[in-house]
Structure 1
Amino acid sequence: MTSENIPPTGVPSRKLAATSWLWPTTLADNLSRIGAWNLPVRQAALLFYQSALSLAYTQDDIPPVPGLESHVHLPVDLPWKRGAAAVYAVISRLMELAGNLSPWGGVLHPPEAPGLLESVAALWREAAPGWRLLVENVPGQGLRRHWPVIQSLELPVCLDVGHMMAFGQTWLPGLPGLWERVELLHCYAPGTETGKHSHLALDRLTPGQEDELRAVFEALPAKTPVLFEVFSEEDLRASLEKFYGLHHEWGTAP
């Protein structure tokens, strides 16, 4: 499949997202370039991976881009040792900083202790900020221990298929009520080394991984956005081509 087969912006389909780091330039410039594309990508994932660097942004660094939606990937170094209030203060501040793009949700790597996740989620529920707090399956935290909290507080989930494939989380789809909670999918090829993963373009999937991905899309709600979690324009375009090519092979709508 060639890039000519990628539908342009405006063709009705599942919502597709790109990361806010595709070129080695500013966040604002990355967002502007994504917004200007004639590609079926109308959402950006704001990569706030590091707390201090992300909190140093101002709203001028994250300008509004006409027609571009957003969500936030929250820091992986949140101050969990300082307690739920400190963690939620960072989360809420970052969501405010992204306000020009009105992010619909924030993706959270859960702490080891389910009780701490519960405390942060309770603060989010109490604040009722208008954006979703999504819990992601990550290496070492496949969500099994956290599932009672996720269910009791009705938390949405970000399903990372690369983590699922690479870290033996193939039992995840069997969690009760999973699919009704999946509100974002992280999609990429994780590589083939057991217990490790990379963020590779989808054209690097093995045949077995393609079968796993097909099963995911057969269960995934049609309204769930898909983020191609790769970090270059080349890998994004290759992922889009493979994404539409696979759906053509499967005989399914993207």
Structure 2
Amino acid sequence: MPNQGNPKHFFPPLTTVCKNRFPFPVACPSFVYPAGYEENVCRLAPFVDEIQLLFFESEPRSLPTPALIQELSDLAASHDIAYHIHLPSDIYPGHPDPDERRRAVVAIHTIMERCQVLSPSTFTLHLERNPAGTENLPVERWRQYLLESLERMLPQKTSPGKISVETLDYPLEWAAPVIEAMDLSVCMDMGHLLVHGEDLQAFYENWKDRITVIHLHGVDGSEDHLALDRLSDERMRTVLGLLQALKKVVVIENYSYPRLNASLACLAEGWSRTANKGM
């Protein structure tokens, strides 16, 4: 995302400090203010424990440069902030076209290798189902291609468990054989699960031993990435109970100041209210 100027001209600082406030790290995306990585990290670091560095695009010109990584490393030290990485979402490591798989492998390998110096807590990966025109590829063949791509994309000395497979718009059971074979972790995106009618408690029971990071955002019907105050009281109670049980990195996945500001306040208020009642 391009730098669009100093965000101080757009929004004031966040109003709720969540850094060192919960029994789990709270994170937010690296693009909340209409600016680049440096400005966002500097402005967000006082309020959260960790920042989700978004590298959504796989084109070579969009990959993080060594200079950017060094800058982010310096910011981590000076602002007491940790990172995790969101890998590109425009790739298909299970694509039937070997050139598409090769492109995915190169992009992921490059980002992971360059970001090792940041000591990220996890690398979140989309195992996308294939795009239009390849719908007839059998699930078994898709899994085979995924396995081949994953085995090739890991840099040396990188544990497969550092990759957390995000829940998307299909049942994660479809990718379960790949996750288990490669010993990958799971990113439980609660918003995605709610939008697609999944039961959060049931998902937790099934995957709790592999969940290393949680994505949290409000939903309304089919719309997601809203502020947390859009969740019903019942859903919020379920969410807070699972956060208490998991104690993993919780990413408030809002990509604008108004939504993130409302979400952090909602999380703090809900946690305090629940704690006072005895969780």
Is residue 92 from structure 1 mapped to residue 109 from structure 2 by the alignment? yes
2:85 aligned with 1:75, yes or no? no
Aligned to 1:170: 199
The change in CA–CA distance for 1:11 and 1:213 in structure 2 (over 3 A counts) is: closer
Percent identity over paired residues: 24
Give 1:181 deviation, angstroms: 0.5
* Contact 2:92–2:128 (8 Å) recurs in 1: no
Q: Which residue pairs with 1:60 in the alignment?
A: 67
The aligned counterpart of 1:51 is: 58
Q: For 1:54 and 1:230, how far apart are their aligned partners in 2?
A: 25
Aligned residue pairs total 242
What is the CA distance between 1:47 and its match in structure 2? 1.1
Contact 2:20 2:49 in 1 (8 A): no
User: For residues 151 and 160 of structure 1, what CA distance do their matches in structure 2 show?
Assistant: 19
Report the equivalent of 1:149.
Answer: 178
Q: Which amino acid aligns with 2:158?
A: P
Partner of 1:133: 163
Offset from partner CA, 1:95-153 (integer Å, 9 cap, x none): 234355332321111133222322233335683325711101101x2211111221232
> Which residue does the alignment assign to 1:18?
28
* Counterpart residue type for residue 75 of structure 1: P
Name the CA shift for 1:95/1:10 in 2 (closer, same or farther; >3 Å): same
Q: In the superposition, relative to structure 1, how do residues 165 and 149 fare at CA in structure 2: closer, same or farther (>3 Å)?
A: same
The aligned runs of 1:1-254 (5 Å cut-off) are 6-7=16-17, 9-11=19-21, 13-35=23-45, 37=46, 39=47, 41-52=48-59, 55-62=62-69, 63=71, 64=73, 65=75, 66=77, 67-80=80-93, 81=95, 82=99, 84-99=101-116, 101-112=118-129, 113-123=142-152, 127-129=156-158, 132-139=162-169, 141-170=170-199, 173-174=202-203, 177-191=206-220, 193=221, 196-220=222-246, 222=247, 224-251=248-275
Report the alpha carbon displacement of residue 202 of structure 1 after superposing the two structures with TM.
0.9
Alignment check: 8 A CA contact 2:55 2:64 kept: no
Pairwise CA distance, 1:15: 0.7
Cα contact 1:49–1:74 (8 A) shared by 2 = yes
Return the letter of the residue paired with 1:120.
Answer: S
Asked if the contact 1:165–1:209 (Cα under 8 Å) also holds between the matched residues in 2, the reply is no
Q: Matched residues in 1 for 2:146 and 2:235: separation? A: 31
What amino acid maps onto 2:147 in structure 1? E
2:219 counterpart SS class: coil
Question: Is the contact between residue 113 and residue 155 of structure 2 (CA under 8 Å) also seen in structure 1?
Answer: no
Q: 1:212 to 1:202 in 2, by over 3 A?
A: same
Would you tell me which structure has more helix in proportion to its own residues? 2
Contact 2:18–2:26, Cα closer than 8 Å, also in 1: no
The alpha-carbon deviation at position 187 of structure 1 amounts to 0.5
Quote the offset at 1:218 in angstroms.
4.8
Return closer, same or farther for 1:56/1:90 CA change in 2, 3 Å cut-off: closer
- Measure how far apart 1:42 and its partner are: 2.0
Unaligned runs of 5+ in 1: none
Describe the shift of the 1:238–1:174 C-alpha distance in structure 2 as closer, same or farther (beyond 3 A).
closer
- The separation in 1 between residues aligned to 2:145 and 2:185, in whole angstroms, is 17
Greater C-alpha Rg: 2
CA contact (8 A) 1:59 1:100 kept: no
TM-score by length of 2: 0.75
Equivalent pair of 1:179/1:219 in contact (CA under 8 Å): no
| Partners of 1:20 and 1:44 within 8 A in 2 | yes
Mapped to 2, the partners of 1:96 and 1:54 lie a distance apart of 16
Q: What is the CA–CA distance in structure 1 between the aligned matches of 2:18 and 2:238, rounded to whole Å?
A: 27
Alpha-carbon offset, residue 242 of structure 1: 1.1
Q: Secondary structure at the match of 1:24?
A: coil
Equivalent residues of 2:108, 2:153 under 8 A apart: no
Structure 2 residue ranges without an equivalent (≥5): 1-13, 130-141
Q: Which residue of 1 aligns with 2:9?
A: none
Partners in 2 of 1:27 and 1:178 — Cα distance? 32
What SS does structure 2 have at the residue aligned with 1:18?
Answer: strand
